[in-house]
């Protein structure tokens, strides 16, 4: 999806659903982007805008952010296919990454009921660069794993915000997550990492994520299970839990002793 519906969602009477505003109030300088093929970014190239292309976007955007702010490193949060793009970017540009949180992440796809269902339509998506989206498709994100984890008004606001920007989205992420995993190599991810998994998320199995987590080389790493949460954690009833674990990770003090 485009960046602002995910990270800067405006819901009447519920300002907490803007993740950017929440962290800005804590003193963070917050940024989001539209990957190429989504939202306000260019959609002109005749490609399906896959995970690797999204990591290329992050390389361009982070260079701009660092130039504008004068900082040398960033803290990253990625959700679902965005987590894959963020992890791949961090492998390619380790010097730019201070910390990285990967939410609703997947490594090999082993044991994923959601990806197993997607593979049934891989012939359709492999032959096209874009796929149509509508209210029903967006609603299904919140019902396919465990209905009831999100409030209806938040889901409706999320869907409305997405559909104002896009009536279709690229197929590249779906194709990669269905048949091209793994696209990330944990041994190459050098920064401190937090793996975040919603209790009901159908994208990645615990085994798949724990196998990835075990191979991460930095000893500063966390594996967090978030109760009562499905796939789209930033838009669900237990949002306060998501913020709590992110704040703790991003504000963690540097170790005094490293062995």
Model confidence band, residue 46 (pLDDT cutoffs 50, 70, 90): very high
- d(CA 47, CA 74) in angstroms, rounded, equals 29
pLDDT tens-digit profile of 109-147?
Answer: 999 999 999 999 899 889 999 999 999 999 999 999 999
- Residue among 78, 244, 232, 243 at smallest CA distance from 147: 232
- Give the H or E element holding residue 76: strand 74-79
Going by their DSSP bridges, the two strands 221-226 and 97-103 should be labelled as unpaired
Q: Enumerate domains of the chain plus CATH numbers.
A: 3-191+231-240 (3.40.50)
pLDDT band at 259 (very low <50, low <70, confident <90, very high): confident
Predicted model pTM? 0.97
Q: Are strands 130-132 and 168-170 parallel, antiparallel or unpaired?
A: antiparallel
State the pLDDT at residue 124: 87
Residue 258 pLDDT: 87
- Identify the burial level of 227 via C-beta atoms within 10 angstroms of its C-beta, where 0-12 means exposed, 13-18 middle and 19 or more buried: exposed
Distance between alpha carbon 188 and the CA centroid of its chain, in Å?
Answer: 19
State residue 125's pLDDT score: 87
pLDDT of residue 196: 98
30 or 204, higher pLDDT? 30
In tens, the pLDDT along 181-222 reads 999 999 999 999 999 999 999 998 999 999 999 999 999 999
Q: Report the candidate in 182, 158, 176 with the shortest Cα–Cα distance to residue 231.
A: 158
Mean pLDDT to the nearest integer, 215-241: 98
> Is omega for the bond preceding 182 within 30 degrees of 0, making it cis?
yes
List, for residues 49-72, the tens digit of each pLDDT value. Answer: 999 999 999 999 999 999 999 999
For the segment 76-112, what is each residue's pLDDT rounded down to a tens digit? Answer: 999 999 999 999 999 999 999 999 999 999 999 999 9
Arithmetic mean of pLDDT, 13-36: 98
Number of helical (H) and strand (E) elements in the chain, helices listed first:
11, 6
């Amino acid at each position: 999806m485009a960046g602002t519906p995910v990270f800067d969602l405006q819901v009447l009477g519920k300002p907490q659903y803007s993740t950017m505003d929440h962290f800005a109030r804590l003193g963070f300088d917050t940024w989001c982007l539209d990957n190429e093929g989504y939202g306000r970014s260019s959609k002109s190239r005749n490609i399906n805008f896959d995970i690797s292309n999204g990591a290329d976007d992050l390389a361009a955007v982070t260079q701009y952010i660092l130039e504008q702010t004068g900082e040398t490193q960033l803290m990253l949060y990625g959700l679902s296919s965005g987590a894959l793009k963020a992890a791949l970017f961090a492998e390619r540009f380790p010097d730019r990454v201070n910390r990285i949180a990967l939410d609703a992440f997947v490594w090999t796809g082993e044991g994923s009921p959601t990806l197993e269902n997607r593979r049934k339509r891989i012939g359709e998506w492999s032959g096209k660069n874009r796929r149509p989206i509508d209210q029903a498709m967006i609603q299904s994100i919140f019902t396919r794993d465990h209905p009831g984890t999100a409030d209806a008004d938040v889901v409706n606001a999320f869907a409305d915000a997405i559909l104002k920007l896009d009536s279709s989205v690229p197929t590249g992420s779906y194709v990669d997550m269905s048949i091209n995993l793994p696209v990330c190599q944990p041994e190459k991810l050098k920064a401190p990492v937090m793996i975040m998994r919603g209790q009901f998320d159908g994208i990645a199995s615990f085994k798949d994520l724990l196998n990835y987590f075990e191979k991460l080389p930095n000893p500063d790493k966390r594996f967090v299970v978030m109760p009562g949460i499905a796939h789209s954690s930033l838009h669900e009833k237990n949002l306060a839990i998501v913020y709590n674990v992110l704040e703790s990770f991003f504000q963690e003090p540097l170790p005094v002793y490293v062995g």
